Structure 1
Amino acid sequence: MIRVYILVIILLTSLFVSCQRGKPVPVARSFDQYLFPEDLQGVVPNGVTGDDSIQLVRAYIEQWTRQQALLHHAQRNVSMNTERLQRQVEEYQNGLIVYEYEQALINQKLDTLVSDEEISAYYDSREELFTLKQPILKTSYIRLKRDAPELDRVKRLFQSTDFEEQDLLEKYCAMYASQYALHDTAWYYVNDLIRKFPIAKINEDDYGKTGRIFEIIENNELYLIILQDSKFRDTRSPLSLVQNNIRNLILNKRKIDLIDQMQRRIMDDAREKNNIEIYN
């Protein structure tokens, strides 16, 4: 807190001295460029206090001095075509203005509701886009210590479809398992499953052996794994796995169409009112 007060006092003192002398007093200089207290407005977001606010101000000042120093040396050592540079700045500025207008149009006009029927139609009409590049699996697994009790009984319960026995297994896992997933019906890419359990120790040729228990020992822990379902690479991805991707593709297409319609409308209106002319 003392450092916060010091920083505040420095800034207030700078402002006070500025008022007294009739000219601003800088808080930093880099070559012939100066940073003033008013330039720091907005650097610290509302609600940020203490050491965090000090670090933000210091980081901003450090970044500013570095950028000004680099700019100074660049200006002295690079021969610039001023007209070309100004043209690039104008093009960049114009691009930003148009981009902001397009984003405002999208926020106001874009229909973001994508129905299941639209997703299904897109999926059916573009089969080539949804070919699997790696296998996907539905799995159940239990991670236990190698000396966990009643392992033979656990394996039997694990393969059972009886509701009461599944309930018993759930209670057992809650007591003894460090990780488990018994009723997960989602599809996962094999590369994503590696973070959950050592799936790499199951041969890809065995992915079709659904319903059996694979036992893997790693780091003195026992993994019991059942592959509930599988799909191999170069086969069609299930809709449930790519549903969100399709929704994003549809929305992106709508954005492109909306912007294209806006541009056409503006150009047609400009031509109709003779606001555009091309001279030969």
Structure 2
Amino acid sequence: MIKVFILVIAIAFTSLFISCDRGKPKPVARSFDQYLYPEDLQGVVPNGVTGDDSVQLVRAYIEQWSRQQALLHYARRNMNTNPEHLERRVEEYKNGLIIYEYEQALVNQKLDTVVSDDEVRTYYESRKELFMLKQPILKLSYIRLKKDAPELDRVKRWFLSTDFKEQDLLEKYCSMYALQYALRDTAWYYADDLIKKVPLSRVGEDNYGQIGRIFEIIENNELYLIILHDSKFRDTRSPLSLAQSNIRNLILNKRKIELIDQMQRSIVDDARRKNNIEIFN
């Protein structure tokens, strides 16, 4: 793989080669007094990537390296950095990163990711204040048609009907003439998301309570037929079905925090029992 990297660099970056002492590898780039060598490019190109893609990856890495070294040069020249303070911060960051990686490995191994419906419901009922709506939500059906679509009176009657045969006729009509449609959708949607599909702003938030009525809206020479099946307004409680996914994530995050906290306390307690931790007065 190293030979492949050297070949790629030799072809793509010949102009960057700089003569060095005999027996030493030729660098592929220089930024001030820092040099980048072919062996530094190991791992830049993933297995299976060849041709122009590999050249682009190497080129991008060299560009990034050159930019970083230039910034470091100017930063070191223009800042009075306390080496001991900097080293201490680097060590703290490294230690924190090692602990974080260990904690994530522990979570991946031991975290129980199964959340029952009963747990979700209990969480929902005990924390009602967390699930207040910041915007209206709606259940609706809509049909988007050309303004001159045929048999509109019949379509409107079918749209309001609960008769199975007429609903089937409407489905067939929509498959032939509708530009877009959604019938008998029982899911809740945020108003802001629906506005991207239908001209809901023309209905107006004051009319969201008019359940079962057909709203006819013409926009951009197209006809929208919209029926609101249910609605909930801002500052009212979100239904469980809409909050369910968020609740599961909240429960899992709580379990994760508790697992990590338990692990930390267990390690520290064990270290103290074995006299591996001492605090001197």
TM superposition shift of 1:163: 1.1
Q: Secondary structure at the match of 1:267?
A: helix
Q: Secondary structure at the match of 1:226?
A: strand
CA distance in 2, matches of 1:64, 1:13: 18
Question: CA 1:31 to 1:211, structure 2 compared with 1: closer, same or farther past 3 Å?
Answer: same
CA distance in 1, matches of 2:13, 2:156: 72
Equivalent residue runs for 1:183-262 within 5 Å:
183-262=184-263
CA distance in 2, matches of 1:230, 1:48: 52
Query: How well do the aligned residues superpose, as a CA RMSD in angstroms?
Result: 2.3
- Cross-structure match for 1:133: 134
Aligned residue type for 2:194: L
TM superposition shift of 1:54: 2.2
Q: Secondary structure at the match of 2:89?
A: helix
| Counterpart contact for 1:7–1:54, Cα < 8 Å | no
CA deviation string 1:129-161 (max 9, x = no partner): 011111100010011110111111111111111
- Cross-structure match for 1:155: 156
Aligned residue type for 1:153: R
Aligned residue type for 2:193: D
- Cross-structure match for 2:108: 107
Bigger mean CA deviation after superposition, 41-50 or 259-268: 41-50
CA distance in 2, matches of 1:270, 1:200: 63
CA deviation string 1:174-212 (max 9, x = no partner): 111111100211101101111111111112111111111
- Cross-structure match for 2:8: 8
Q: Which runs of 5+ in 2 are unaligned?
A: none
Q: Secondary structure at the match of 1:140?
A: strand
- Cross-structure match for 2:48: 47
TM superposition shift of 1:75: 0.5
TM superposition shift of 1:21: 4.7
- Cross-structure match for 1:92: 93
Q: Secondary structure at the match of 1:228?
A: strand
Bigger mean CA deviation after superposition, 5-14 or 211-220: 5-14
Bigger mean CA deviation after superposition, 45-54 or 101-110: 45-54
Q: Secondary structure at the match of 1:44?
A: coil
CA distance in 1, matches of 2:51, 2:167: 53
Question: CA 1:28 to 1:124, structure 2 compared with 1: closer, same or farther past 3 Å?
Answer: same
CA distance in 2, matches of 1:12, 1:28: 9
Name the % identity. 79
CA distance in 2, matches of 1:48, 1:97: 31
CA deviation string 1:9-62 (max 9, x = no partner): 738999xx99x9532211111111111112222222233333332222211111
If the length of structure 1 is used for normalisation, what is the TM-score?
0.92
Question: CA 1:114 to 1:190, structure 2 compared with 1: closer, same or farther past 3 Å?
Answer: same
- Cross-structure match for 2:39: 38
- Cross-structure match for 1:167: 168
Question: CA 1:7 to 1:213, structure 2 compared with 1: closer, same or farther past 3 Å?
Answer: farther
Aligned residue type for 1:159: L
Bigger mean CA deviation after superposition, 112-121 or 33-42: 33-42
CA deviation string 1:57-94 (max 9, x = no partner): 21111111001001011111111000000000000000
TM superposition shift of 1:7: 6.1
- Cross-structure match for 2:72: 71
Aligned residue type for 2:250: L
Q: Secondary structure at the match of 1:246?
A: helix
| Counterpart contact for 2:5–2:38, Cα < 8 Å | no
CA distance in 2, matches of 1:113, 1:235: 29
Aligned residue type for 2:162: T
| Counterpart contact for 2:5–2:42, Cα < 8 Å | no
CA distance in 2, matches of 1:145, 1:6: 62
CA distance in 2, matches of 1:5, 1:100: 31
If the length of structure 2 is used for normalisation, what is the TM-score?
0.92
CA distance in 1, matches of 2:146, 2:51: 46
